[in-house]
Structure formats: C-alpha cells, structure tokens
Amino acid sequence: QQQVKQSPQSLIVQKGGISIINCAYENTAFDYFPWYQQFPGKGPALLIAIRPDVSEKKEGRFTISFNKSAKQFSLHIMDSQPGDSATYFCAASMSVSGGSNYKLTFGKGTLLTVNP
C-alpha cells in the first residue's frame, strides 16, 4: 500500500516558469510533510517542510501548499532555473511519544527538467 502518492513522474519546464508537483497521503496520523531534492549520485537534501497547522509555507522561490481536508500537499517552484533540475520527493512522517518525528515515508519522486 503506497501511503504517499506523487505526481507527475516527470516534468519539463522552461526557465522562468513555475514547476508544480503534487502529493496525496492516506494516513491522517502524518503530521510532518517535507520535500527533498536529490541530484544524481547524491543523497536527498531537505528543501522545505510544513506541518498541518498552516496551509502555506514559503522559502525563497519554493512554496508548499497544504490542504488538510483533501489530504494533499504540493510544491511550487517559482522562476524555475536550470540548476533546479533534479528529482524531487515528497515525504511524510508522524510524531511519536515525546513529540518527535522519525521515519519518513517517501513518494516515488518527480524528475524535473528546466530547459534554458
């Protein structure tokens, strides 16, 4: 059972355009939703994260939109640049006793290509 579904599998955007990647989750116990960026041959790196008590979080060109009732969240990359070309993963985790999150459940990833 795939708990976090991500779409699209791949995305091609022109430089300066907006990249949008969507994720949907099933487990309502999830309470932490990060996005990771992965370049070939590298490990994933945290890009931005959100908790369900807010509907939007923005950091520079990256914005997460969160819809708790629909159990969906998305990543928007404004003014996309060729250097943003990478694989993006959404993920989710839940708090355990003590209030900390631990294991991540990842989506299958989106390969983003930004053409110059």
Partner 1 sequence: DTGVSQNPRHKITKRGQNVTFRCDPISEHNRLYWYRQTLGQGPEFLTYFQNEAQLEKSRLLSDRFSAERPKGSFSTLEIQRTEQGDSAMYLCASSYFRGTEAFFGQGTRLTVV
Q: Where on the chain is the footprint of partner 1 (CB under 8 A)?
A: 4, 6, 32, 34, 36, 41-46, 49, 89, 91, 93, 98-109
Closest to partner 1 by CB, 98 or 116: 98
Q: Would you say the C-alpha torsion 33, 72, 56, 36 has a positive or negative sign? A: positive
What residues have CB less than 8 Å from 79, skipping those under 6 apart?
Answer: 16, 18, 61
Please state the closest distance from residue 98 (CB atom) to partner 1, in A: 8
Please state the closest distance from residue 79 (CB atom) to partner 1, in A: 25
Closest to partner 1 by CB, 31 or 65: 31
Closest to partner 1 by CB, 13 or 47: 47
Amino acid letter, residue 38: Q
| Burial of residue 31, with CB atoms counted within 10 A of its CB: 0-12 exposed, 13-18 middle, 19 or more buried | middle
Residue 49 tokens read as: 């994260």
Please state the closest distance from residue 41 (CB atom) to partner 1, in A: 7
